[in-house]
Structure 1
Amino acid sequence: MSGCHCDDTASTLSQAQDASRRRVLWAVLGINAALFVGEFTAGWWADSSALQADSLDSLGDAGVYALSLAVVGGSLRQRNGAAVVKGLLQGLFGLLVLAEVVRRLLTGAEPLAPLMAGAAAIALLANLACFGLLMRFRGEDLNMRSVWLCSRNDLASNAGVIAAAGIVALTGSAWPDTAVGLLIAVLFLHTSWQVLREAWPGWRHPAEPCTKETAP
């Protein structure tokens, strides 16, 4: 009788399961890469902190999905290591967004509400598609859970940008755009902490594989 208690996430993935994960990850990677280009351009044109912060979120997610692809079917330590890198990337982008918010506060900005809302609405539809594709993988292991968390955050970010655009249009003030940019930065940092808290122990001390014990 075996005396080893293995975690479910350490089990070997079948080739069919790996292929399914890869197809979904390639799809959401492509969507987020395209969103980064579109949102960053629109954010620059609209002079919007919130929209540019959201574009960095898409860029970060594309990197996250690329890492996830690299470790699909890998060992538990490899998957936890990828999750650690993702957590660090989320933290880095959070700090970059904070720096951009501060810069715009110092220099002043007059965001274009219609362009903000239009770009964020397109991004919301695209991220809803990503969220749906990733939903069934969210509980499988930390690697896929971290990917799903990124997708969930995207929806919140897009909704925040749309809300900010509406308030900017109503008030003629830039502060809602700045506030949403700040909230997106906080969301980045919170996700970073959440993923690192779960992944770091598993990377430092991965569960030992089961070995079959035979009676003497």
Structure 2
Amino acid sequence: MSCECSRVPSDTVEQRKTIKVALALNLAMFVIGVGAGWAGQSTGVLSDALDMLTDAAAYALALMAFSRGFAFKKNAARWTGGILVLLGVGIVGEVIRRWYVGSEPVGSVMLAYSVISLAVNLYVLLRLTKYRRGEIHMRASYICTRADVLANIAVFVSGGIVMVTGLRVVDLVVGFAIGLYVLKEAIEILREANGAGVAA
């Protein structure tokens, strides 16, 4: 007797491939970003790198959700939102700590990392765009990546300002803004998860 469980729709296979690529790229950028963030003493870069780790967790949850029921998919989105809440609070806390302790962000490091990170996130976002109206776990993945693109642009702009003007406080402002934006995206994901109807 053949197992019908092995018959996976082609669109689901494509979604899995997309999420696997996104997971691998985000884990790689997290490692690179943490090193660049500490070396460049940049709150913006470090915040962006931590956001990459959060996205990797969201993508891992999305992968598990493919073979699970609707309830698991909703819970996966809730977990994603919850992780983003913790990340947003952590970023804001780190910005406050560095405000008092002090830091010397390096503009060139911020620019270099943000360019690479932006290229990665734009690639992932383009692959996820077709699923932005899909199931809740895929919508959550799309929202996370969209937030990353905006964060990358903010880090790039702040890195340029730091390098040209030496206004290091710009890095803290951008880090704080990323933290607040991550919290906003977390709330959006949680609303999506809690508002999702029962699967047909």
Q: Which residue of 1 aligns with 2:177?
A: 183
The C-alpha deviation readout for 1:160-188, integer Å capped at 9, x for no partner, is 00000111122212111001101110111
Instruction: Give the TM-score normalised by structure 2.
Output: 0.93
| Pair 73,15 (structure 1): closer, same or farther in 2 beyond 3 Å | farther
Q: Which residue of 1 aligns with 2:198?
A: 207
Counterpart-to-counterpart distance in 1, 2:92 and 2:150: 17
The C-alpha deviation readout for 1:27-49, integer Å capped at 9, x for no partner, is 00000000000011001000000
The C-alpha deviation readout for 1:34-65, integer Å capped at 9, x for no partner, is 00000110010000000000000100000000
Pairs within 5 Å for 1:76-155: 76-155=70-149
Counterpart-to-counterpart distance in 2, 1:165 and 1:208: 45
Q: Which residue of 2 aligns with 1:51?
A: 45
Q: Which residue of 2 aligns with 1:166?
A: 160
Is the partner of 1:140 in helix, strand or coil?
Answer: coil
Is the partner of 2:129 in helix, strand or coil?
Answer: helix
| Pair 167,75 (structure 1): closer, same or farther in 2 beyond 3 Å | same
More displaced 10-residue stretch of structure 1: 156-165 or 74-83: 74-83
Is the partner of 1:187 in helix, strand or coil?
Answer: helix
Does the CA contact (< 8 Å) of 1:117 and 1:166 recur in 2? yes
Q: Which residue of 1 aligns with 2:4?
A: none
Q: Which residue of 2 aligns with 1:31?
A: 25
Aligned length: 194
Which of these two proteins has the greater Rg computed from alpha carbons? 1
Q: Structure 1 stretches of 5 or more lacking a match?
A: 1-12, 210-216
Identity of aligned residues (%): 31
Is the partner of 2:134 in helix, strand or coil?
Answer: coil
Counterpart-to-counterpart distance in 2, 1:201 and 1:170: 46
Q: Which residue of 2 aligns with 1:195?
A: 189
Does the CA contact (< 8 Å) of 2:131 and 2:138 recur in 1? yes
How far apart are 1:133 and its partner, in Å?
1.2
Counterpart-to-counterpart distance in 2, 1:23 and 1:123: 20
| Pair 61,208 (structure 1): closer, same or farther in 2 beyond 3 Å | closer
* Residue identity opposite 2:76 in structure 1: A
Counterpart-to-counterpart distance in 2, 1:14 and 1:117: 42
Is the partner of 1:207 in helix, strand or coil?
Answer: coil
Counterpart-to-counterpart distance in 2, 1:192 and 1:139: 18
* Residue identity opposite 1:29 in structure 2: L
